[in-house]
């Protein structure tokens, strides 16, 4: 069997290709996770807000109790949602995730977005006002206060590593200057239409693992914009795929691996789940990587973001203000 390379993520080794579970519906996500784990995946990316952790947990339990794959061989990530981004909610939120996933610990726990949202709103996980704008947590908790609670989870052995998702450089910097345990990881959208190279350089400089989500630029996303151009049909991507006798999807996944990143393509299709992992048999030249990054120049800087959650745009901590 092929050996999946890893990158350093805090105190752990993170396998470079993992399975994403965002927008994987209940009823299919469990089967997808099971199929992935039974086909050499060693990295699964979860989150409370995906509303499918219980089903993922049932799959973990089934696979781990069968004994072929051990819990400690798999890198599992989950994320603290915005409505739990208040110091007294961090511990209970992590406990709920661990219980749903049927795990004793997480390999990585991330703050999902830099925006805190009203924790006890009748609108649940996405509290929006009548104009469709996000309702922040009235207590306006600081990153430092929330991060201190994340650090406690490491002290208690509930999480091996803690990190951030969708934070901008300034926001990461504010945590780095005021933390005891530094963020092990930054998970952000990255693909040739939005390579996020400045952020990647910043992470490399600070020893923060970079994990790319939506590496295919969300071809099947519910959030897809009507005019969105598919990266899988891009001529540059297709040309490189032909040169290596691989699929366009495999090129886009390998593009992240060759930049030293980890990457979490989502699929619930058994054949595609296997195909997405099969990227260790080839690598891209530096020139091919640059050619792919240059696709972003077809769009206004910084590129084409498919997951901009614009309804959070008015939030004081919205991370992509320059793009609004």
| Active site amino acids | 50
| Kind and range of the H or E run holding 239 | helix 235-244
Q: What is the DSSP string of 89-107?
A: HHHHHHHHHHHHHT-S-BS
- Spell 213-241 as b/e; 16+ CB within 10 A means b: bbbbbbeebeeeeeeeeebbebebbeebb
Spatial contact of 21 and 29, defined as CB atoms under 8 Å apart? yes
Nearest to 45 by CA among 264, 271, 278: 264
- Whole-angstrom distance, CA of residue 104 vs CA of residue 94: 11
- Whole-angstrom distance, CA of residue 307 vs CA of residue 143: 22
Nearest to 17 by CA among 273, 231, 206, 244: 273
Residues 6+ apart with CB under 8 A from 133: 311, 313, 314
User: Helix (H) and strand (E) counts for the chain?
Assistant: 10, 10
DSSP state of 117: -
Ramachandran area for residue 267 (φ above 0: left; ψ -120 to 50: alpha; else beta): beta
Which residues share a beta bridge with 80? 111
Query: Which SS3 state, helix, strand or coil, does residue 48 take?
Result: helix
- Whole-angstrom distance, CA of residue 109 vs CA of residue 121: 24
């Amino acid at each position: 069997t092929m050996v999946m390379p890893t990158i350093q993520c805090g105190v752990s080794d993170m396998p470079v290709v993992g399975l994403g579970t965002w927008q994987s519906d209940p009823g299919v996500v469990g089967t997808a996770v099971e199929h992935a784990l039974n086909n050499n995946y060693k990295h699964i990316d979860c989150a409370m807000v995906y509303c499918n952790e219980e089903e993922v947990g049932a799959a973990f339990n089934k696979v781990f109790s069968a004994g072929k794959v051990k819990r400690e061989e798999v890198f599992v990530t989950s994320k603290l949602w915005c409505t739990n981004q208040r110091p007294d909610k961090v511990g209970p939120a992590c406990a709920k995730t661990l219980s749903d996933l049927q795990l004793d610990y997480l390999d990585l726990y991330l703050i999902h977005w830099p925006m805190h949202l009203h924790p006890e709103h009748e609108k649940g996980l996405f509290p929006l006002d009548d104009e469709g704008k996000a309702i922040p947590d009235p207590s306006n908790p600081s990153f430092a206060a929330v991060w201190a609670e994340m650090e406690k989870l490491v002290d208690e052995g509930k999480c091996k590593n803690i990190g951030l998702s969708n934070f901008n450089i300034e926001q990461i910097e504010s945590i780095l200057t005021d933390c005891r345990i530094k963020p092990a990881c930054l998970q952000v959208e990255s693909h040739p239409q939005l390579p996020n190279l400045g952020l990647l350089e910043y992470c490399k400089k600070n020893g923060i693992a970079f994990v790319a989500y939506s590496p295919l630029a969300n071809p099947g996303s519910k959030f897809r914009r009507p005019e969105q151009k598919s990266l899988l049909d891009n001529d540059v991507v297709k040309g490189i795929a032909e040169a290596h006798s691989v699929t366009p999807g495999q090129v886009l996944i390998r593009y992240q691996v060759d930049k030293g990143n980890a990457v979490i393509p989502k699929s619930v299709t058994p054949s595609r789940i296997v195909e997405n992992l099969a990227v260790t048999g080839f690598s891209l030249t530096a020139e091919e990587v640059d050619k792919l990054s240059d696709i972003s120049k077809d769009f206004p800087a910084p590129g084409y973001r498919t997951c901009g959650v614009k309804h959070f745009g008015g939030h004081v901590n919205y991370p992509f203000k320059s793009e609004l």
